[in-house]
Amino acid sequence: MANKVLVETTLNGETVEFLCEPRQSLLEVLRDVLGFTGAKEGCLTGDCGACSVIMDGRVACACLVLGPEVQGKKIETVEGMAKDGENLHPLQQKFLEHAALQCGICTPGFLVAAKALLDRNPKPTEHEVRFALAGNLCRCTGYDKIVHAVMDAAAVMQGR
């Protein structure tokens, strides 16, 4: 395809370069160009949060970001959450312990949105967790287990 642009960005701490058409979303770039399939395609309208990624410290729907927009930005995806790809992030560990997932398609988005919350607000109230995750939809588990997992992870990360 003609009209491709070269983009340089930081993905989970590593500099990456990619070529994309302007009409390709960050979600398409992550999944189809870079092979990072953690972010999921859900609604493509910014309603479900399955494609959540962190961009320069703020969570966003990758389906509503154009590939060229991430030039010079820092992107974090669920793939970057486990240290060295092995040691699970406390959020991931607590999602397992609380059985905060069933089919799992919403899980990367929830993990990323929850990480973005805890990065800014390490001791959120349950109310704050529920509002922070209002942009992520889960159609099987129900939200209680997810909220409890996030609260528990926050406590662990605070050494409580």
Partner 1 sequence: MRAFTYESPRSLDQALGLFATAGEKARALVGGTDLLIQMRAGVRQPDVVIDVKGIPELQILSFDPQSGLRLGAAVPSCRITEDKMMQDKYPGLTEAAGLIGSVQIKNRCSVGGNLCNGSPAADTTPALIALDATCVIAGAKGTRTVKAEEFVLSPGRTVLQPGEILVEFRIPAPKPHSSDCYQRFIPRNEMDIAVVGVGAAVTLNGDTCTAARIGLGAVAATPLLAKAASESLVGKPLTEQAIAAAAALAQQLATPITDMRGTAEYRQHMVGVLTRRVLNEAAKRTKKK
Beta carbon of residue 84, minimum distance to partner 1 (angstroms, whole number):
28
**Enclosing H/E stretch for 17:** strand 14-20
Contact assessment for residue 70 and residue 9, using Cβ atoms and an 8 Å cutoff? yes
Q: How far is CA 25 from the centre of its chain?
A: 15
Beta carbon of residue 93, minimum distance to partner 1 (angstroms, whole number):
23
**Enclosing H/E stretch for 23:** none
CA distances from 72 to 16, 25, 68, 91, 138 (A): 10, 16, 10, 28, 32
Tokens (6 digits) for 160: 């409580």
Answer yes or no whether residue 45 interacts with partner 1 by CB under 8 A: yes
Q: Which of residues 3-42 bind partner 1 (CB under 8 A)?
A: 3, 5, 21-23, 25
Q: Which of residues 72-111 bind partner 1 (CB under 8 A)?
A: none
- Which residue in 11, 29, 60, 146 binds partner 1 (CB under 8 A)? 60
Beta carbon of residue 113, minimum distance to partner 1 (angstroms, whole number):
7
Site for partner 1, rule CB under 8 A = 3, 5, 21-23, 25, 44-47, 49, 52, 55, 58-61, 63-66, 68-69, 71, 113, 116-117, 131-132, 134-136
